């Protein structure tokens, strides 16, 4: 493997410092994983005749940080370009996902690419699909490669919750735009005279559904109540997430994290939201959304997070020709939509059986599960829904349940509750974590699933590349 990567380095432009760091890091990561890897079980491959194999060559992310900390003075494209630890000269296309867009850099993929030193001849575009935006970026890249339009695509995601757009009220915006078109002093004075004090009230951003005007926290509280998930269960699950994340962080398992030298500040090397507490301390927190009887608190919810991630995708043929050793195949995937109010966060429940059926697999075939944790109540509600024949029959049109993932295979290196959830960047983290876990734990198939605002969801099968 070392000789193949060395050969690949020689064939890249000598000026590509990003590429050199990627390959050096790839060697280091591979050796660390290989040392402790368990031999994978022998299962059938999901390769299909006449269908191009798409592989993950590498995946990285800058540390995910709580908003208002070290990234607070940056812009989204600064984070996105910092995650572009990929060889610039071979990339055909770049796709990034984001949710809350900075209006000055609405196509953040393009701005990040230019800032990272990519050729101005490399096209880039940005997608948005709430919390599964980078999932959409990845599958967009998969489609482009499968269609023969590209051989090498970078897919990623970014979110900067430390600085979100705050607008004037609609009344003020309308007045200002009309004022800009006024031609005479009289017309301008007439418009100015109509401005009232309430025009100056700003429109603050809210993590709320446009169609229901309800925050996701309220939806999580209602979902937890509907599935009889107690405050104790939610706190226990949140503590599990932080404990496992801390163990993975201390054990050097989070190999996708790359250091980021923040301009004017220190180098950030790890996620800063991983904070195992105690059930006693967590129990002291008051409900955050439904007061005073709600069960969702700051301790059992994912926090507002800044971060960026990126994955290097190639056709298998191209990767091998360049001397790469891929990490995993990206196989079947599905997107789902359901009721955006009562079932806003049940995307994994609806997507999981569909992607399994599409791939010809069962739950028993999956060795590694990586599910997005928006709230502890949300993730536990999904597990209960997946394990309910009644729910499957009455809401999903299925004869029987798909079954819940066993916890011993589930989010074993922490999840969004502990590692953080920069909306647009989480999907890439899930996929590369699944690939790394498959190698270390000796599995072959991983299942990645996530919910998203708007009542949507995504699921994908990740297959370990032959070792």
Q: In this predicted structure, what is the pLDDT of residue 208? A: 74
- Which tens digit of pLDDT belongs to each residue from 95-111? 999 999 898 999 999 99
What pLDDT is recorded for position 166?
86
Burial class (CB in 10 A: 0-12, 13-18, 19+), 207: middle
Q: How far is CA 432 from CA 12, 244, 327, 372, 448, in A?
A: 24, 17, 9, 13, 10
Other Cβ atoms within 10 Å of 114 Cβ, number: 15
Q: Does domain 54-164+210-464 have CATH number 3.40.47.10?
A: yes
Q: What is the pLDDT of residue 210?
A: 80
Q: What is the mean pLDDT of the chain?
A: 90
Tell me what percent of the residues of the chain surpass a pLDDT of 70.
Answer: 91
Q: What's the pTM value of the predicted model, to 2 decimals? A: 0.89
Q: Which of 29, 150, 428, 451 is an active site residue?
A: 451
Residue 318 CB contacts under 8 Å (≥ 6 apart), including other chains: 151, 152
Share of the chain above pLDDT 90, in %: 82
Contact 381, 229 (CB under 8 A): yes
Q: What is the mean pLDDT of residues 440-459?
A: 96
Q: For 123-134, what is the mean pLDDT?
A: 97
Query: With 90 as the cut, is the pLDDT of residue 35 above it?
Result: no
Mean pLDDT of 66-87: 94
> What does the pLDDT read at residue 467?
86
Whether 426 contacts 8, CB under 8 Å: no
> Could you count the other beta carbons within 10 Å of the beta carbon of residue 236?
15
Average pLDDT of span 419-428:
98
Q: What is the CA radius of gyration of the chain?
A: 23
Q: Is 150 a catalytic residue?
A: no
> Is the pLDDT confidence value at 20 over 50?
no
Show Cβ contacts of residue 159 under 8 Å, excluding neighbours closer than 6 positions: 76, 98, 99, 100, 305, 306, 307, 308, 422, 423, 424, 425
Q: Is it the case that residue 17 has pLDDT exceeding 60?
A: no
pLDDT digits (tens, 9 = 90+) for 42-69: 588 999 999 999 999 999 999 999 999 9
Query: What DSSP assignment string belongs to 57-89?
Result: EEEEEPPPEETTSTTTTS-HHHHHHHT--S-GG
Q: List pLDDT tens digits, range 194-240.
A: 999 999 988 877 777 788 878 889 999 999 999 999 999 999 999 99
The pLDDT assigned to 41 comes to 54
- Tell whether the model's pLDDT for residue 321 goes beyond 90: yes
* Stretch among 29-33, 143-147, 180-184, 368-372 having the lowest mean pLDDT: 29-33
User: pLDDT for 356-394, tens place per residue?
Assistant: 999 999 999 999 999 999 999 999 999 999 999 999 999
pLDDT 10s digits, 107-118: 999 999 999 999
**Residue in 29, 131, 150, 428 annotated catalytic:** 131
Which residue, among 5, 6, 25, has the nearest Cα to 255 in the 3D structure? 25
Higher pLDDT, 445 or 341: 445
Residue range 411-419: average pLDDT?
Answer: 98
Q: Please say if 451 is a catalytic residue.
A: yes
Mean pLDDT of 144-160: 98
Residue closest to 368 by CA, chosen among 414, 273, 435, 453? 435
Residue ranges of the domains in the chain? 54-164+210-464, 169-203
Instruction: Classify residue 163 as exposed, middle or buried by CB count within 10 Å of its CB (0-12, 13-18, 19+).
Output: middle
pLDDT at position 212, please?
Answer: 80
Residue 29's pLDDT is what?
A: 44
Question: Residue 319 CB: number of other CB atoms within 10 A?
Answer: 23
Does the pLDDT of residue 19 top 70, yes or no? no
Q: Is the pLDDT of residue 442 over 50?
A: yes
* Range with the poorest average pLDDT among 27-36, 70-79, 117-126, 314-323: 27-36
């Amino acid at each position: 493997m070392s000789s193949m990567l060395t050969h690949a380095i020689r064939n890249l432009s000598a000026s590509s410092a990003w590429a050199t760091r990627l390959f050096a890091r790839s060697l280091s990561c591979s050796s660390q994983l290989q040392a402790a890897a368990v031999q994978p079980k022998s299962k059938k491959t999901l390769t299909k005749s006449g269908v191009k194999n798409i592989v993950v060559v590498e995946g990285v992310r800058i540390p995910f940080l709580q908003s208002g900390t070290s990234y607070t003075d940056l812009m989204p494209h600064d984070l996105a370009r910092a995650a572009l630890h990929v060889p610039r000269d071979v990339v055909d296309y770049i796709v990034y996902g984001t949710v809350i867009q900075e209006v000055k850099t609405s196509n953040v993929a393009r701005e990040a690419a230019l800032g990272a030193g990519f050729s101005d001849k490399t096209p880039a575009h940005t997608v948005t699909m709430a919390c599964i935006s980078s999932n959409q970026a990845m599958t967009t890249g998969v489609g482009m490669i499968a269609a023969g339009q590209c051989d090498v695509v970078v897919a990623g995601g970014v979110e900067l919750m430390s600085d979100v757009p705050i607008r004037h009220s609609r009344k003020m915006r309308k007045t200002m735009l009309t004022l800009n078109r006024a031609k005479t002093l009289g017309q301008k004075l007439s418009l100015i005279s109509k401005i009232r004090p309430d025009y100056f009230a700003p429109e603050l951003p809210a993590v709320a559904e446009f169609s229901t005007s309800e925050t996701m926290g309220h939806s999580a509280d209602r979902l937890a109540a509907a599935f009889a998930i107690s405050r104790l269960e939610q706190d226990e699950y949140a503590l599990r997430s932080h404990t496992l994340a801390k163990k993975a962080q201390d054990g050097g398992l989070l190999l996708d994290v790359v250091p980021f030298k923040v301009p004017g500040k220190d180098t950030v090397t790890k996620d800063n939201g991983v904070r195992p507490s105690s059930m006693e301390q967590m129990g002291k927190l008051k409900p955050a959304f439904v007061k005073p009887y709600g069960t969702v608190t700051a301790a059992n919810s994912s926090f507002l997070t800044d971060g960026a991630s990126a994955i290097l995708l190639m056709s298998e043929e191209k990767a091998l020709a360049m001397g790469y050793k891929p990490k995993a195949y990206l196989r079947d995937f599905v997107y789902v939509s359901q009721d955006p109010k009562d079932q806003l966060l049940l995307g994994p429940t609806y997507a999981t059986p569909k992607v399994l059926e599409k791939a010809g697999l069962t739950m028993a075939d999956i060795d590694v599960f990586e599910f997005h944790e928006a709230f502890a109540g949300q993730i536990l509600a999904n597990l209960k829904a997946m394990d309910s024949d009644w729910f499957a029959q009455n809401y999903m049109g299925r004869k029987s349940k798909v079954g819940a993932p066993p916890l011993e295979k589930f989010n074993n290196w922490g999840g969004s509750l502990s590692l953080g959830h920069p909306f647009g960047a989480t999907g890439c983290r899930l996929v590369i974590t699944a690939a790394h876990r498959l190698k270390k734990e000796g599995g072959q198939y991983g299942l990645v699933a996530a919910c998203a605002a708007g009542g949507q969801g995504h699921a994908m099968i990740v297959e370990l590349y032959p070792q």
